[in-house]
Amino acid sequence: MESVKRTAVVTGASRGIGRAIALRLAKDGAFVVVNYNGSEESAAETVKQIEAAGGQAEAVRCDVSDFEAAEAFFKDVAERHGRIDILVNNAGITRDGLLMRMTEEDFDQVLRVNLKGAFNCIRHVSRQMLKQRSGRIISISSVSGVMGNPGQANYCASKAGIIGLTKSAARELASRGITVNAVAPGFVDTDMTRVLSDEVRERATAQIPLGYFGKPEDIASAVSFLASEAAGYITGQVLCVDGGMAM
């Protein structure tokens, strides 16, 4: 019997880590819904790269921080594809600044996209996964959420929040065959870290036992494993992919 093609949704897959995860899951055989918010052309480029490698994908815009828009997005994907097997909560932003100077807007916006966005997606995908009695949910946290980082109180709070959200969802959904895990990357070369000054980059590298920044593909490998059949007995975990930073 031919096995059913899995459907994966990757949020924020227009660039960086999200794009690498989308490419990897497509290579693993899934149809990938490449979610984006602002970067339409980059999302189309992700789809193009997947198709060029022999995979299948589509780009769909949705601001994951919007509860109702996320509900409509998952309803539409479930109706058109009949199933959603994998959700990767990857969309994320930074608005760095020292605590004493951080504006309320910068705090709220980071929490809204990074944490509430992940909640919105888990909340709305769970309806379909509960019906299927199967699913894999993987959220991208950060070592900053485990260790803290000066200048990133909002970001670290959102990433630590993802860990609590992951563990609660894992406990709630386990009896229905749904696993929920988090991946916590260290420093990875993407647009998000390209803005760091040479001095900050040097200081960051000095904290990494392996001595270098990771690649988006390093994170994609961990997500691919957690989304696979082989990881069926793993739930509620936080897998640090960080060159040894948070050991």
Near ligand NAP in 15-44, by CB under 6 A: 15-18, 35-39
What is the rounded distance in angstroms from the CA atom of residue 238 to the CA atom of residue 157? 16
- Active-site residue 155, yes or no? yes
Size of the site for ligand NAP (CB under 6 A): 30
- Per-residue b or e along 140-156, where b marks 16 or more CB atoms closer than 10 Å to that residue's CB: bbbbbbbbeeebbbbbb
Which tokens belong to 42? 């980059």
Per CB under 6 A, does 122 bind ligand NAP?
no
Per CB under 6 A, does 183 bind ligand NAP?
no
Looking at 25, 26, 64, 110, which residue binds ligand NAP (CB under 6 A)? 64
Catalytically annotated residue among 36, 155, 212, 233: 155
Least distance to ligand NAP, CB of residue 98, Å: 19
What is the rounded distance in angstroms from the CA atom of residue 217 to the CA atom of residue 223? 10
Q: How far apart are the first and last CA of the chain?
A: 44
* Binding mask of the shown chain, residues 124 to 143, with x at each position contacting ligand NAP by CB under 6 A: ----------------x-x-
Closest by Cα among 9, 135, 5, 176 to 76 = 9
Nearer to ligand NAP, 49 or 132 (CB): 49
What residues does 180 pair with on adjacent strands? 137
Under the rule (CB under 6 A), what is the footprint of ligand NAP? 11-12, 14-18, 35-39, 63-65, 90-93, 113, 117, 140, 142, 185, 187-188, 190-193
Give me the active site residues, please: 155
